[in-house]
């Protein structure tokens, strides 16, 4: 089952129901000079600056004037990783938008600034399922202060599929599959564009969602995949939480052969 909803656009702290008590998501919108105080609680938290600049105090650390992009489509993000019980204060220096994710499970260590230079990027897929990824808190073997979180961004071009072939990661059977819950937060360019997402398991679960600007889908189980409609580019911020740093996935057996495709014939109407 998946949880779906539009994330509120009110100024201030906007929490969202994820359908789970173990993972949380909120969107923070602040005008220049405004501040927000929060607490990571008994778990790990990551603050991803979607756009704008801020000064952040967290767990005794000071991060002054962080944030380098004006849009999620405009480059790599700045982020702050917070350990368990970390108090934080965010002060906006410009119009600011921050995504705040949390997951159960204690973590010790300092608050850590993740700069754009710390973000690994590249391309997943090929043909019309090629998309650009940015790993903020990557899975093993990437070094990371996190114990349970894997966080990244994906830019899906017009008319392309993402998370394709469809995969799942909800049944812990290492090394073939790990168990991770996942949240997706979407933005579209232009804003009135749309995408589609499917979550299914081949045994009765088959859900379809229209992806609009500022929508969220929380995936607890099943295969999942998404597509950006022609004429718009789709951004997704994704956050996975589980007991393993490695993320092992199982592809839909009907489509897994596509992982071996390096080139594809160009089809034309005749």
Q: How many residues comprise the chain? A: 270
In a domain, 270, yes or no: no
In a domain, 127, yes or no: yes
What is the distance between the alpha carbons of residues 239 and 93, in angstroms, rounded to a whole number? 26
In a domain, 196, yes or no: yes
In a domain, 268, yes or no: no
What is the distance between the alpha carbons of residues 68 and 255, in angstroms, rounded to a whole number? 39
For 23, the token pair is: 């993972």
Each residue's pLDDT, cut to its tens digit, for the chain (270 residues) gives 688 888 999 999 999 988 888 889 999 999 999 999 999 878 899 999 999 999 999 988 999 999 999 999 999 999 999 998 899 999 999 999 999 999 887 677 789 999 999 999 999 998 899 999 999 998 877 778 888 889 999 999 999 999 999 999 988 877 778 888 999 999 999 999 999 999 999 889 999 999 999 999 999 999 999 999 999 999 999 999 888 777 889 999 999 888 887 555 444 433
> How confident is the model at residue 265, as a pLDDT?
46
pTM value is 0.93
- CA-nearest of 202, 195, 230, 190 to 216 is 195
In a domain, 265, yes or no: no
Domain range enclosing 146: 2-260
What is the distance between the alpha carbons of residues 73 and 190, in angstroms, rounded to a whole number? 11
C-alpha 55, offset from chain centre: 22
Looking up residue 124, the CATH number of its domain turns out to be 2.60.120.10
Share above pLDDT 70 across residues of the chain, in percent, rounded to a whole number: 95
Asked if 157 contacts 188 with a C-beta cutoff of 8 angstroms, the reply is no
> How confident is the model at residue 268, as a pLDDT?
40
Bridge partners (DSSP) of residue 242 are: 180
In a domain, 266, yes or no: no
Q: How many domains does the chain have?
A: 1
């Amino acid at each position: 089952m998946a949880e779906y909803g539009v994330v509120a656009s009110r100024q201030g702290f906007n929490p969202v129901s994820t359908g789970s008590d173990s993972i949380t998501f909120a969107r923070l919108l602040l005008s220049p000079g405004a501040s927000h105080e929060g607490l990571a609680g008994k778990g790990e938290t990551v603050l991803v600056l979607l756009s704008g600049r801020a000064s952040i105090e967290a767990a005794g650390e000071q991060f002054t004037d962080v944030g380098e992009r004006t849009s999620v489509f405009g480059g790599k993000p700045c982020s702050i990783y917070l350990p368990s019980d970390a108090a934080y204060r965010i002060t906006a220096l410009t119009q600011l938008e921050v995504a705040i994710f949390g997951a159960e499970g204690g973590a010790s260590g300092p608050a850590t600034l993740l700069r754009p230079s710390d973000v690994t990027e590249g391309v997943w897929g090929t043909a019309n399922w090629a998309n650009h990824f940015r790993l903020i808190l990557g899975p093993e073997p990437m070094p990371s202060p996190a114990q349970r979180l894997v966080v990244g961004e994906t830019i899906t071009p017009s008319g392309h599929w993402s998370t394709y072939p469809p995969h799942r990661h909800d049944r812990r059977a290492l090394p073939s599959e790990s168990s991770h819950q996942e949240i997706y937060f979407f933005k579209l360019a232009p804003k009135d564009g749309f995408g589609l997402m499917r979550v299914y398991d081949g045994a009765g679960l088959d859900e379809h969602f229209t992806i609009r600007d500022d929508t969220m889908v929380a995936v607890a189980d099943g295969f999942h995949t998404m597509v950006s409609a022609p004429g718009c580019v789709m951004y997704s911020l994704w956050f996975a939480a589980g007991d393993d740093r490695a993320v092992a996935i199982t592809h839909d057996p009907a489509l897994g052969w596509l992982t071996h495709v390096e080139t594809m014939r160009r089809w034309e109407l005749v």
